[in-house]
Amino acid sequence: MNGNRVSAKVSPEGILEVISKDEAARLRSTGHGGLYEVFRRCALAVLNAGSPLDDPTVIFSQFRDFEIAVRVRDRGIKLDISNAPEFAFVDGVMIKGVRELLFAVVRDIVYVNNEIETSGRFDLGTTSGITNAVFHILRNAKILKPQRDPDLVVCWGGHAIGRGEYDYTKSVGYELGLRGLNICTGCGPGAMKGPMKGATVAHAKQRIHNARYVGVTEPQIIAAEAPNAIVNHLVIMPDIEKRLEAFVRIAHAVVVFPGGVGTMEEILYLLGIRLHPDNGDMPLPVIFTGPESSRAYFTRIDEFLRDTLGEGISACYEIVVNDPPAVAHKIRDGMAAVRAHRKQHRDAFYFNWRLQLDEVFQHPFIPSHENMAALNLDTDQPPHQLAANLRRAFSGIVAGNVKEEGINAIKTHGPFRIRAGERFSAQLDKLLQSFVADQRMRLPGATYEPCYEVRS
């Protein structure tokens, strides 16, 4: 151990124990088609779990001497790691859970490159091709579990919430766990960790030994939201759009806790899909919930959604304040409807094939200054299309707040300029300003410097 750095040689245990020499060479390559940089970033994020840092530019600067390489040996593969964060080790030995997640990184990067991006098997220009790719990535990661009744609750919320809100997420997770339900989140801290932590206690009380704590992430966000210690099934999707599709395809219910722009992006993605005419009869319980101190937060969210997407949008979710048992009851009862609907239509419990997604929800959105300025945020368009464009606006703000490329773009070119009609821009600006006032934006210093401007 060298200060707060550790070097080690690590072997896998049950996750991707062998790869080809060609795959190992691509993981080491920094040239065209090489995977080293994305591999290094994701590996460092996993090893950095437990650190208070959530700014990728700081993390990668602080650990610029970190190196990792895959070696193909006669008895399988081994990782050579140099100058890694000490959070991942105890007495110089890597923590077992961290080791599992580290080899999940190897598995997903190799699989996505080999089978999704370069094989020619998937037409990523079509909605069916993208959905098929999402399915195969999840299947390869063993996230899809057949022959099980619906039991997976996707929980969304902020990674930098206050203590009261965090404790509330644990209480909800506890109530869900008592009812035998499993948890899926974005895998990071805050509202992504709390439900898992609460559920672990409940699962222990109920003597549930095969509980699942699923973390779904992507390479650009993982550094700011490194997997928490409870995640026991990690999958790294290629981009944010496939990450969001993975959430909605495997969810049997969704619970939304307080958060910032990232949580709003997730809400708009989900509601935009629910608004699609072909999805109108599809049951999916969606609960917005938090402690009493969060009541005003959800009131603002509800007002914004009704003002922009129409009064009918409120039928797509329910707000429950300060009542974890009620949340769990509603989720459990809602899952019974999900089960009945899937059986009626002979659809899989483990992957929602019938859910219809327009291509605007699937094709990656690059949050450049040009693309952000060109977003159509006028209300004179179908509600699900407006929700999709709003989702892209919030996705850009997330990039400007926490993703390295977005942060660097803001430093170089100034804030993103988001344009909308006068009434609409006022509503959007009001919501964003409330996030700033409540300190729900990432704060790189004493004062948050917005990465956006809203103009009419």
Tell me the average pLDDT across 135-155.
95
CB 68 within 8 A of CB 28: no
pLDDT of residue 2: 44
pLDDT value for 429: 86
| Listed range (279-288, 346-355, 430-439) with the worst mean pLDDT | 430-439
Q: What is the pLDDT of residues 234-248, one digit of tens each?
A: 999 999 999 999 999
Tens digit of each residue's pLDDT (9 = 90 or more) over 45-75: 899 876 666 666 677 778 889 999 888 887 7
Model pLDDT, residue 176: 98
**Window from 64-78, 138-152, 437-451 with minimum mean pLDDT:** 437-451
Q: What is the mean pLDDT of residues 433-443?
A: 80
pTM of the model: 0.92
CA dist 333 and 322 (Å) reads: 19
The pLDDT score that the predictor gives to residue 57 is 67
What average pLDDT does the segment 143-170 reach?
Answer: 94
User: Which residues have CB under 8 Å from 172's CB, separation 6+?
Assistant: 155, 194, 195, 198, 255, 257, 289, 324, 327, 328
What integer pLDDT is reported at residue 379 of this predicted model?
79
* Per-residue confidence (pLDDT) for residue 52, from 0 to 100: 66
Q: Which residue segments constitute the domains of the chain, with CATH numbers given? A: 5-121 (3.30.1850.10), 145-344 (3.40.50.450), 366-455 (no CATH)
Label residue 16 by pLDDT band (50, 70, 90).
confident
Identify the pLDDT of residue 381. 86
Q: Please state the rounded mean pLDDT for residues 250-276.
A: 95
For a pLDDT cut of 90, what percent of the chain falls above it? 65
**Percent of the chain whose pLDDT exceeds 70:** 96
Residue 38 has pLDDT above 60, yes or no: yes
The predicted structure's pLDDT at residue 239: 94
- The mean pLDDT value of the chain amounts to 90
Is the model's pLDDT at 380 over the cut of 90?
no
For residue 13, pLDDT over 80 is answered with: no
Closest CA to 176 of 325, 340, 335: 325
Q: Is the pLDDT of residue 406 over 50?
A: yes
**CA 321, chain centre distance (Å):** 24
pLDDT of residue 1: 41
Residue 33 reports pLDDT greater than 80: no
Token match 């707040």: residue?
401
- pLDDT value at 372 more than 80: yes
Mean pLDDT of 188-217: 96
* pLDDT mean over 32-53: 84
